[in-house]
């Protein structure tokens, strides 16, 4: 990051804000955002960004305060749609209504009611019960990969496993899994949209999301009818039962279904992809992760901290809120940079150092409090199974040459687009 460490934030005309790195950071195009985050944390931890038309919060302490603050609202789909011209808003009204029914986009009492339904279906006990199915899926995937000279760890393992797992748990047909992933990814990119400007790129994101939402609406509508007629032992059948019992509305039923699908595989994909990339480049850390019982679990937590799959959470101020002496006004957007907080030296000694045996490690990768990620136990279970299975063979895998390709254009995910590897001869 060249000279970023010598720059100060210095207000709207400061050298950091004038830098190429900062502008790329605001466009979500920076492959390594941590230099900008370090400098913001050091000089301006609650920072007003004119480019984002938003506050950016980067210290652990202030992010935790903000996550606990009820006046920083999760009902914030207006942030995602704020770039849309007034004349086009009716076109995307159905999409915005749908995302407003995602669990992470709701506030009490609606959030409490929906979460009560969801946590009966997605919880530590259900994750533990899923372990045999996860182990079987991992074995099948790895057996296939051993027969190939070259493959992509992102598509062929990190994506395939959690997508298979969540679709089986939801109870959706195998023939739909690729479509589900593509559609959920498109809608998820809209749900992470924070760019306030209407541009061809923004229009493309929102138009794709709209078309994918309409496809999801049609497919889930058919699945709901099927589950009502022939219920099975799966999450979607249970959600249909909750609707029939009057616990959730029709919009909330579809919102929870799509949210569980999207959140249930993309976060785990990035935990696995980011983790395998980190460990492939650090063979000593890979060995440490295998050295003692419990070390795999520690390694998973450090992967989550060091390359957080969900780098930021946005909020919408409902009334004035003071953070670090700065007043956030009603209606303003707040970006809580979880990845920045997870590198904060005030909380994590050597925050920019990857340490697979780090303890304690109370990172914020899954959020905090009432909106702590319900799918965290399932993500950790899958991470544990994958690392236990692949770490003994990791020394036989060689990364493709060149820098990793991080997915650009979406501040809400930290995701590799591919991770090419080849088997090498071993003893």
Lookup: tokens for 166: 């969540």
DSSP 37: H
What residues in the chain have per-residue pLDDT under 70? 1-13, 426-427
Quick check: 277 and 405 in contact, CB under 8 A? no
Alpha helices in 230-337 (DSSP H): 235-244, 250-280, 283-290, 295-306
DSSP 103: G
* pTM assigned to the model: 0.95
Residues 304, 416: Cα–Cα separation, whole Å: 14
**Sign of the four-CA dihedral 364, 365, 371, 374:** negative
CA dihedral 128→133→134→135, nearest 10 degrees, is 100
Lookup: tokens for 260: 């569980």
pLDDT in tens, 139-188: 999 999 999 999 999 999 999 999 999 999 999 988 888 999 999 999 99
Residues 12, 48: Cα–Cα separation, whole Å: 8
Alpha helices in 307-365 (DSSP H): 338-341
Quick check: 162 and 382 in contact, CB under 8 A? yes
Residues 412, 54: Cα–Cα separation, whole Å: 14
Query: In this predicted structure, what is the pLDDT of residue 175?
Result: 84
With tokens 């005030």, the residue in question is 346
pLDDT in tens, 216-261: 999 999 999 999 999 999 999 999 999 999 999 999 999 999 999 9
The answer regarding whether domain 86-307+366-423 maps to CATH 1.10.357.10 reads: no
């Amino acid at each position: 990051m060249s000279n970023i460490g010598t720059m100060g934030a210095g207000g709207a005309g400061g050298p950091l804000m004038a830098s190429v790195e900062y502008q790329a950071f605001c466009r979500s195009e920076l492959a390594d955002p941590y230099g900008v985050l370090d400098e913001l944390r050091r000089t301006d931890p609650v920072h007003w960004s004119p480019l984002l038309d938003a506050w950016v919060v980067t210290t652990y302490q202030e992010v935790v305060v903000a996550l606990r603050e009820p006046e920083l609202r999760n009902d914030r789909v207006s942030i995602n749609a704020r770039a849309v011209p007034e004349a086009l808003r009716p076109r995307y009204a159905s999409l915005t209504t749908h995302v407003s029914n995602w669990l992470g986009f709701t506030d009490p009492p609606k959030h409490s009611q929906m979460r009560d339904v969801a946590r009966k279906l997605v919880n530590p006990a259900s994750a533990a019960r899923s372990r045999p199915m996860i182990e079987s899926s991992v074995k099948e995937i790895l057996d296939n990969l051993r027969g190939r000279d070259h493959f992509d760890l992102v598509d062929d393992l990190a994506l395939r496993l959690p997508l298979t797992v969540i679709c089986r748990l939801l109870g959706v047909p195998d023939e739909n899994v690729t479509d589900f992933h593509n559609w959920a990814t498109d809608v998820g990119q809209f749900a992470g949209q924070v760019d306030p400007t209407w541009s061809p790129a923004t229009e493309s994101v929102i138009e794709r999301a709209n078309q994918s939402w309409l496809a999801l609406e049609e497919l889930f509508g058919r699945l709901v009818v099927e589950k009502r007629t022939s219920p099975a032992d799966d999450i979607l059948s249970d959600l249909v039962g909750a609707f029939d019992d009057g616990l959730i509305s029709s919009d909330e039923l579809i919102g929870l279904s799509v949210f569980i699908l999207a959140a249930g595989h993309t976060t785990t994909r990035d935990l696995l992809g980011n983790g395998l990339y980190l460990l492939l480049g650090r063979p000593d850390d890979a060995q440490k992760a295998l050295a003692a019982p419990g070390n795999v679990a520690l390694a998973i937590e450090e992967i989550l901290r060091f390359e957080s799959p969900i780098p930021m959470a946005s909020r919408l101020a409902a009334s004035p809120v003071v953070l670090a002496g700065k007043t956030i006004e009603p209606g303003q957007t707040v970006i809580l940079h979880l990845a920045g907080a997870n590198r904060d030296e005030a909380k994590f000694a050597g925050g920019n150092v990857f340490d697979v045996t780090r303890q304690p490690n109370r990172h914020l990768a899954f959020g905090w409090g009432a909106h702590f990620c319900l799918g965290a136990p399932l993500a950790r279970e899958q991470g544990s199974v994958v690392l236990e299975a692949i770490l003994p063979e990791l020394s036989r895998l060689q990364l493709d040459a060149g820098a990793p390709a991080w997915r650009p254009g979406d501040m809400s995910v930290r995701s590799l687009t591919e991770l090419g590897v080849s088997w090498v001869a071993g003893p």
